[in-house]
Amino acid sequence: MQRDFRTLSDERIAKVYDALKDKRIVVIGAGGAGTWACISLLMFCPSIRLAVYDDDVIETSNLNRLPYSPKWIGKSKVLALARIVEFLGLEIEPHFTKFDPSLITSEVYIYIDASDDLKFSLELFHNVTGFSLYCRIGYESDQSSVFKAIPEFGIDDGKSGYETNASNIYGALGSSVMLFRFLYQKINFSKISNHHILFERSNNV
């Protein structure tokens, strides 16, 4: 008798795959967190239609958490990401501009906010809620989270953007883990809301 190795967890992971299949997803920010989130999503479910927005270029300080060589310094982060995923046999829809909230549509399954602008994130959060899923990802040093201070929720630290601690690849990769945990819980249990995800934090990668 052949043993069935499938588990309840496998079925739930399959449910996440089915939920993402052929969906349109928008990632805002192609830095450390956004880049690895894009690669992870496409490797997990190649059929997703992934649009990426960022008007920034790669700097020397970015190289400790991005899969690029020094020759990419000064070039578009979105272009570099497009080349990486193309090498993997995948593709993104590249946008070399900042995301305009007026483009929000219910046709997008989830907006993944990997920006470092708290004012923008607050506006995006309010405009997306009720139309699509929203998940903000980021990291500080070797910690990763789907949380960053947003003034309206009473946790304003007076700063806009990430902490000045040296970021590294572990934190960037950890953000992808947190993103998938959010999707796993949301799709399988529907117990986590766009609002709650802003307060969830992990001290591990």
Answer for the pair 39, 50: CB distance below 8 angstroms, yes or no: no
Question: What span, in angstroms and rounded, lies between the C-alpha atoms of 188 and 95?
Answer: 31
Range of the domain at 182: 8-202
Cα distances (Å, whole numbers) of residue 54 to 14, 34, 115: 31, 10, 9
Give residue 57's pLDDT band: very low, low, confident or very high (50, 70, 90): very high
Is 1 inside any structural domain? Answer: no
Q: What's the rounded mean pLDDT across residues 76-84?
A: 95
Give residue 118's pLDDT band: very low, low, confident or very high (50, 70, 90): confident
Number of domains in the chain: 1
CATH code for the domain in which residue 162 is found? 3.40.50.720
Task: Give the pTM.
Answer: 0.78
Give residue 163's pLDDT band: very low, low, confident or very high (50, 70, 90): very low
Is 134 inside any structural domain? Answer: yes
